[in-house]
Chains A and B, each alone.
Chain A
Amino acid sequence: MGQNVLEINDLSVKYKVYEGVLDVIPDLSLYVQEGERVGLVGETGSGKTTVLKASAAILGNTPAIVNKKELKVCGLSIDGIRGKKNVRKNVSMIFQDPSTSLNPTLKIQTQMLDILKSQFPKKSKGFYHEMMMRALKSVSMPAPERVLDSYPIQLSGGMRQRVCISMALMKNTKIIIADEPTTALDVTIEEQILELIDDLVKKEKKSLILVSHALGTVRKITDRLYVMYAGQIVESGLTKDIFDNPHHPYTIGLIDATPKLTGNGIADGIAGDIPSYLNPPKGCRFAPRCPRATQICREQAPVLEKMEGSVDRFVSCHNLEVSEKPVVSSLT
């Protein structure tokens, strides 16, 4: 640990649409250290995908205006064509829907071979085959020979995701970005896949960014967590600390709204919706939905500040000293 493999400083992203300009990400910084497993959690529309696309340098195809960005992958800038190359060399991605990230018209073998050939050009057939078998075995794939000779449609969702993971690993990059890798899978299969990702990341000393909307999923395998709301990081810290003792009212509301095995009903969630990015609230972006909001919240945006006496714990809220659990208002 220690060295930052991914660094995003003061990222700002705006999108131009019919209604005007969407100020999606005003000012965001995050980092991932070597060998660290970091979670990025937020609800639909919180901007987590935008952050992800920015770090993979694939925002170019959208009507996005990326400002004052300083993104570094393994200490290298990601600007321009050279930057894209740096990203490709150091980052591999696992997507939510394994059926769309594999080409349906090509056999698994062909697709894996393409990646291998770019990694290790001009090797013998036997070498490539050996590498593919090793990659599939490393993701505990049953009957790897048969899988190599199959089309994606012949595999189950879990098997396809295993193939995607093995392909991501073949690239031998330092960083793995997993975008909702288990959302499309069943619970018992999700458990297996998460365990697999976790094992491989630990064994190969890679860094993992796990993006998800599901708190429980992130809690399972991450060390550190960023909670995003409306394009901003509202709270970050060690995963265990955040779940044991959430500070930001949004984090608290989110955890409360998650149905629990303990029973006793579900809290009524957080009132209202994510604000429009067209005209976001002037002060804290969470203020219109916040049970703790006071005058200052509506006027002045809070800064993400380190909490005293904590390990890496940052919260952006004006009213942290309100210690008792907030009363979350209901829908009406």
Chain B
Amino acid sequence: MMSNESIIKVNNLRKEFKTKFGNLIAVDGVNFEIKQGENFGLVGESGSGKSTIGSMIVGSYKPTSGTITFFDEDISKSSKHRSADLKRNIQLVFQDPGGSLNPRKTIREILSVPIELYAGKRLSRKEIDERVQSVLTKVGLPLEYLEKFPRAIGGGEKQLVCVARALAAHPKFIVLDEPTSALDVSMQAKITNRLIELQKSQKLSYLFITHNLCLVRNMCDRLAVMYLGNICEYADTPEFFKNPKHPYTQMLLASVPVVSDEEESLKPVKVKSIGEIPSPLNKPKGCPFHPRCPKKTSICMEETPEMREVSPRHFASCHHI
């Protein structure tokens, strides 16, 4: 089902924000591609720039430099300058399901918005209703929810409504920005599984942005780990968890809270977590990870490491692999 054609290609992407305290480099020369039908995970802690990449793909910001292509179309521009068809094809689900639904509108009214917007012609009330109902059924919510207000339903269900709203546009690609991090584990499990099901049945591709490595392990085909605006490692999921190469990835994996001894044994040899994540405002010179890295040498402080293929289809950027 995964094809070789890439749906999103990100090339040397860079985003700077001008702030009172100087330039904030949120994304610093990032390359990756997402294949059609693929579920691509983008993992990182706060300040890693993972959400900024998602925002640029949906057009919240224009990249400072570098390109994003959707199939063969250059989409490195803000949503204002994008065609309606492009906006329809790339949808977004936010982290906070409560904030992303208008509190004064019923679920029916909320779901009608993309349906009316992208229909391309004027729809009758009955047609809209039919489509609203079908999309709500797709995500597995009962029809009586249509008349409810967002506050009357639970957090997980709100997130399903957000997914339904994205699906209503019949997109090819959805950016999922931490869709389950505000939810309890049993709800998270339901939403995650529903998202995987929908990806298969609706032939979607996902960019799954998260800080949760365990979730990526179970959901994504491929993943990239980001640290302070750079990708430090990028591989197929099974390979990545079997052979984490980058010292940061190892530290991250070693820190993940797990629930069984079996998982504990899968973690790399304990790499003690030290230091703070620096602010992207004063990003360290050379390798951005060097102040926290147990393997650092003098070269790390001066030269930014290049991304290299360390084993087939497994890329990492570190001087010491």
| Direct A–B contact in complex, judged by CB atoms less than 8 Å apart | yes
Quick one: which of B190, B257, B266, B276 contacts A216, CB cutoff 8 A?
Answer: B257
A114-134: contact bitstring with B at CB < 8 Å (1 yes, 0 no)? Answer: 000000000000000000000
- Confirm or deny: A202 has a beta carbon within 8 angstroms of a beta carbon on chain B: no
Which of A156, A190, A244, A258 interacts with B185 by CB under 8 Å? A258
Q: Are A254 and B185 in contact (CB under 8 A)?
A: yes
- Interface flags for B215-242 (1: CB within 8 Å of A; 0: not) read 1011100000000000000000110010
User: Which residues of the other chain, A, contact B321 by a CB distance below 8 angstroms?
Assistant: none
- Which residues in chain B, 52-98, are within 8 Å of chain A measured between CB atoms? none
Q: Do A259 and B190 have beta carbons less than 8 Å apart? A: no
The answer to whether A258 and B273 touch across the interface, beta carbons within 8 angstroms, is no
A256 CB to closest chain B CB, in angstroms? 8
Q: Which of A157, A215, A263, A266 contacts B189 (CB 8 A)?
A: A266
Q: With the chains together, A262 CA to B264 CA distance in Å?
A: 10
Interface flag for A260 (CB, 8 Å): yes
Residues on the A chain within 8 Å of B219, using CB: 259, 266
Query: In chain A between 233 and 256, which residues have their CB closer than 8 angstroms to a CB of chain B?
Result: 243-244, 253-256
B271 to chain A, nearest CB (A): 10
A331 lies within 8 A of B255 (CB): no
Complex contacts, A216 vs chain B, CB 8 Å: 256-259
Residue among A215, A219, A263, A267 with the most chain B CB within 10 A? A263
A257 in contact (CB, < 8 A): yes
Binary interface profile of B, 152-179, with partner A (CB < 8 Å = 1, else 0)? 0011000000000000000000000000
- Judge whether B294 is part of the interface by a CB distance below 8 angstroms: no
The reply to whether the CB of B274 lies closer than 8 angstroms to some CB of chain A is yes
Question: In residues 252-296 of chain A, which contact B (Cβ within 8 Å)?
Answer: 253-270, 273
CA distance A257 to B193 in the complex (A): 11
Size category, B interface: 35 or more
| Nearest CB of A to B42, in Å | 15
Residues of chain A contacted by B193 (CB below 8 angstroms): 265-266, 268-269, 330-331
Residues 307-332 of A, flagged 1 when their CB comes within 8 A of B and 0 if not, give 00000000000000000000000111
Given A267-B189, A269-B189, A332-B140, CB of A189 within 8 Å of CB of B276? yes
| A-chain residues with CB within 8 Å of residue B253 when the two chains form the complex | 261
Q: When A259-B189, A268-B193 are in contact, do A187 and B252 touch as well, CB less than 8 Å?
A: yes
Q: How far is the CA of A260 from the CA of B267 in the complex (A)?
A: 11
CA distance A24 to B274 in the complex (A): 41
Q: What separation, in Å, do the CA atoms of A268 and B279 have in the docked complex?
A: 38
Say whether B217 contacts A188, CB under 8 Å: no
Cβ–Cβ contact B184 & A156, under 8 A = no
* CB pair B257 A263 closer than 8 Å: no
Q: Report whether A268 and B259 are in contact in the complex, using a CB–CB cutoff of 8 Å.
A: no
Cα A189 to Cα B257 in complex, Å, equals 12
Contact indicator A187/B211 (Cβ below 8 Å):
yes
- With a cutoff of 8 Å between Cβ atoms, the chain B residues found around residue A156 in the complex are 276-277, 279
Closest residue of chain B to A265 (Cβ to Cβ) is: B218
Residues facing A in B1-30 (CB within 8 A) are none
Q: Does A186 interact with chain B (Cβ within 8 Å)?
A: yes
Residue of B nearest to A187 (CB): B255
Query: Quick check: B186 and A270 within 8 Å, CB to CB?
Result: yes
Q: Is the CB of A331 within 8 A of B256?
A: no
Q: In B271-301, which residues have CB < 8 Å from any A CB?
A: 273-274, 276-277, 279
A158 within 8 A of B: yes
Contact across chains for B189 and A257 when beta carbons are under 8 A apart: yes
- Whether a CB of chain A sits under 8 angstroms from the CB of B308 is no
Decide if B202 is an interface residue (CB 8 Å cutoff). no
A264 to B258, CA, bound (A): 15
Which of B140, B187, B218 is in CB contact (< 8 Å) with A259? B218
A219 to B261 alpha-carbon distance, docked (Å) = 11
User: Most chain-B Cβ atoms within 10 A of its Cβ — which of A216, A259, A262, A269?
Assistant: A259
Bound form: Cα–Cα A139–B47 in Å: 24
| Residues in A214-231 with C-beta less than 8 Å from chain B | 214-217, 219-220
CB-defined contacts of A187 to chain B, threshold 8 Å: 45, 211, 213, 252, 255-257
Tell whether, in the assembled complex, residue A261 and residue B185 are in contact, meaning their CB atoms are under 8 Å apart: no
Q: Give the Cβ gap from B20 to chain A, nearest Cβ, in Å.
A: 14
Within 8 A of B (CB), among A90-104: none
Q: State which of B184, B261, B263 has its C-beta within 8 Å of the C-beta of A213.
A: B184
A123 to B99 alpha-carbon distance, docked (Å): 50
In the complex, the answer to whether A257 meets B188 with C-beta atoms within 8 Å is yes
Compute how far the CA of A188 lies from the CA of B247 in the bound complex, rounded to whole angstroms: 12
Hey, which chain B residues are within 8 Å of A43, CB to CB? 184-186
Residues of A within 8 A of B252 (CB): 187-188
B99 to chain A, nearest CB (A): 17
B226 to A: closest C-beta gap in Å: 12
Q: Assess A244 versus B261: contact at CB under 8 Å? Given A189-B276, A266-B218, A331-B140.
A: yes
A219 and B185 contact, CB distance less than 8 A: no
On B, residues with C-beta under 8 Å from A are: 45-46, 140, 154-155, 184-190, 192-194, 211-215, 217-219, 237-238, 241, 251-263, 266-267, 273-274, 276-277, 279
Q: Which residues of chain A have a CB within 8 Å of any CB of chain B?
A: 43-44, 142, 156-159, 186-192, 213-217, 219-220, 243-244, 253-270, 273, 330-332
A-B residue pairs in contact (CB < 8 Å), sample of 22 = A43-B184, A156-B276, A158-B276, A187-B257, A189-B276, A216-B256, A219-B258, A255-B260, A257-B189, A258-B185, A259-B217, A260-B217, A261-B213, A261-B253, A261-B256, A261-B258, A263-B241, A265-B218, A268-B193, A269-B185, A269-B190, A330-B190
4 tightest Cβ-Cβ pairs between the two chains A and B: A216-B257, A269-B186, A269-B189, A191-B255
**Could you list 14 further interchain pairs (A-B, Cβ under 8 angstroms) beyond the known A255-B260, A269-B187?**
A190-B255, A192-B274, A216-B258, A219-B257, A220-B257, A259-B189, A259-B214, A259-B217, A259-B219, A260-B214, A260-B258, A261-B256, A263-B218, A266-B192
